[in-house]
Structure formats: structure tokens, C-alpha cells
Amino acid sequence: MSAIGRSRHACRLVCAGLFAGILTIISVPALAQPLSFLPLPAPAYQPAFPQYAPPNAPQSEEQAGRQSDDDQLPPELRRQVVVYQTPEAPGTIVIDTAHKFLYLTLGNGRAMRYGIGVGRQGFTWSGVERITRKAEWPDWIPPVEMVARQPYLPRWVAGGPGNPLGARAMYLGNTEYRIHGTNDPSTIGKNVSSGCIRLQNADVEDLYNRVAIGTKVIVLPATAPRAANDSLSAERNRAIAINQTGNGRMTAQVPVLPAADRQPAPSASRYAPLGIY
């Protein structure tokens, strides 16, 4: 074969090869499509295990009642929804001083119940107030009367985890008393304060988020009996009368016991706002 013939044969082979390559590219699926540089839409988040959903997921009142940040509390002192029959409107706070419970009425015969710490002997009180101020991580300034009794106390403590008032405070009327948290959860369920009502921090934050300024707060006497099933029963209503005077103030009254059954009368300081802690 001449050189010209060999050259033509080589050109035919090259052309045939190129044509076959083009046909192969056309017939093969576009495998590179999934590697497109266009952003793909993110799939909606659906947890495979709902029980491990983020802790900030919406919760029902029952779920909130079953959870507590402090498992060291006895079960009866943990936040929980209970049966609670009362004529008070939903959103009212009722403090059962004798049994160390705070109830936030929810309506329909239910209430959120919290374990609390209350005033030690000689510093409990009763009556009706309203929340007049709310504060997050409040400072603590012991009043003069408290410093006189306990000179070792600091004169001022900045708000924070080490503050005795804890994470939140709700101030009651024009008194020195308040509902607040604590940096010592072991005091819940005990008579420990100078008249204030304390909750563990997780509970006081929960309560703080549920109530507003103006919320009615009823503090029952330390001698008030506890009705069965956490109910303000007819027996309790007869034993404890909430009376409203002409100036709008309300007081709690209890029956007078026979002289033989009476306890020694407390000192007059019991009725003065002598402390906030």
C-alpha cells in the first residue's frame, strides 16, 4: 500500500473512533447530574426518636409537671399538675404554708403544684397580696432589721448563681416579702426563711413565666389543714374565711381553738416584714 493509502486508512480509523465515542457519550446516562453545584433544599427536621427531641420543644402542662431540674427533691415536692378544686380564678397563686406547697390554679379543677420553703418559726404570715414587680437574677439587699438580727450578713449581693434569691423574684405588694428562687435546693420543704417563699430555680423560672404583675397571691395560715386530694374542700372553706374589707384589703381568718389546745402566742415581730430571705 502506498503512503497516501496508508494515510487515508489512518484517517478513516480516527474518524470511526471519534464517531463511536460520540455515540457512547450520548447513550450513557448523565452520571454527573447528582454532583451538580446547585444547592439542594434541606429536608425538614424529623427526629427519628421523639423522646430525644430538643429540651426547648413545646411541652404540655402535664409534661412540665413531670419534669424537674433537681431530682433530689422528694416526689411530692416536684413540680406537677394536681387535682385542686377552688373557687379562685385561673392564674391565682395559693400558698399552703403548713404543707410547703404553692399552687397556681389552672382552671377545670387543676393546679400546678410546686414544693416550697417557707418562714421559720415566728416568721410565717398569712393574707392576700398581689405581685407588684418581677425581676430576673435580682440583687439581694438584706433589710436593716435582718442585719440587726444577723450582723454577719453581707450588705449587698449581686444577682447571679450565688445569690440567695436565686434566678427570679416576684415582689408581693408593698411588703418586704417575695416569691423567689434559691441557691440551696435542699431548703425546699422546710421552714427556713424570714417570711419569703422560695422555690428551686427551675421551678421559680417556670412560675415566673406563667404569671404577670397583678397576679393575686393568697398565703394561708401555717395552721391551715390540708384537704384531701389537694382540694380546697368545703371543710377548709368553712375553717378559713377570706374576708374583704371596705378598703379592698383581704385577710384570712381561722377558728379560735379552746384554751387548752392553743399554742403560745408568737412575738409581735411575726407580723412585721422583717426579712426578704
Give catalytic residues, as residue numbers: 180, 196
How many CB atoms neighbour CB 147 within 10 A? 15
Q: Are 130 and 212 in contact (CB under 8 A)?
A: no
The x, y and z cell numbers of residue 79, run together, are: 413540680
How many CB atoms neighbour CB 132 within 10 A? 15
How many CB atoms neighbour CB 185 within 10 A? 23
Phi, psi of 197, rounded to the nearest 5 degrees? -105, 125
CA distance 220 to 223: 8
Element of type H or E holding 106: strand 101-107
Phi, psi of 81, rounded to the nearest 5 degrees? -85, 130
The x, y and z cell numbers of residue 60, run together, are: 404540655
Task: Please choose, from the candidates 102, 126, 99, the residue with its C-alpha nearest in 3D space to the C-alpha of residue 112.
Answer: 102
- Give the CA distances from residue 263 to residues 61, 100, 106, 124, in Å, rounded to whole numbers and listed in that order: 40, 20, 35, 15
